[in-house]
A = this chain, B = another copy of it.
Amino acid sequence: MVGGGTDAFIGAVHRLAAFMDNQIELVCGCFSINPEVSKSSGKLYFLPEERIYTTYQEMFEKESKLPEGERMDFVTIVTPNFVHFDPAVMALDHGFHVVLDKPMTFTLEEAYKLKEKLDETGLTFALTHTYSGYPAVKHARKMIADGQLGKIRKIFVEYPQGWLSSKLEDTGNAQASWRTDPKRSGKAGCMGDIGTHVHHLAEYMTGLKVTELCAELNVFVPNRLLDDDGAAFLRFDNGAKGVLMATQIAAGEENAIRIRVYGDKGGIDWEQMEPNTLRVKWLGQPMQVLRVGTSLDSAVAAHNTRVPGGHPEGYLEAFANIYRNFALTVRARANGEEPTPEMLDFPGVDDGIRGMQFIETVVSAGYNDEVKWVKFGETI
Contacts and interface: CB of A to CB of B under 8 A. Distances in A.
Nearest to A153: B220
A274 interface: yes
Contacts of A214: 214, 216, 371
A166 B283 contact: yes
A191 B333 CA distance: 48
A282 interface: yes
Contact of A267 (B21, B46, B216, B250): B250
A306 interface: yes
Contacts of A95: none
Nearest to A297: B286
Interface string A206-243: 00000000101010100000000101010000000101
Number of copies: 4
Interface in A245-289: 245, 247, 249-256, 260, 262-267, 272-276, 279-283, 285-289
Contacts of A162: 262, 267, 281, 283
Contacts of A309: 254-255
Contacts of A273: 276, 310, 312
Given A153-B249, A264-B251, A316 B315 contact: no
A22 interface: yes
A26 interface: yes
A15 B306 CA distance: 11
A20 interface: yes
A165 B252 contact: no
Given A19-B21, A287-B288, A289-B288, A266 B281 contact: no
Interface in A146-171: 149-150, 153-154, 156, 158, 160-162, 165-166
A295 interface: yes
Contacts of A308: 9, 254-255
A252 B287 contact: yes
A33 interface: no
A231 to B, nearest CB: 5
A307 B312 contact: no
Contact of A312 (B19, B158, B252, B314): B314
11 contacts: A19-B19, A20-B316, A220-B264, A252-B262, A254-B294, A285-B295, A286-B295, A306-B316, A314-B316, A370-B372, A371-B373
Given A166-B283, A252-B267, A254-B294, 5 more contacts: A13-B306, A229-B241, A311-B315, A313-B315, A314-B314
Interface of A: 9, 12-13, 15-16, 19-22, 26, 45-46, 149-150, 153-154, 156, 158, 160-162, 165-166, 214, 216, 218, 220, 229, 231, 233, 241, 243, 245, 247, 249-256, 260, 262-267, 272-276, 279-283, 285-291, 293-295, 306-317, 370-373
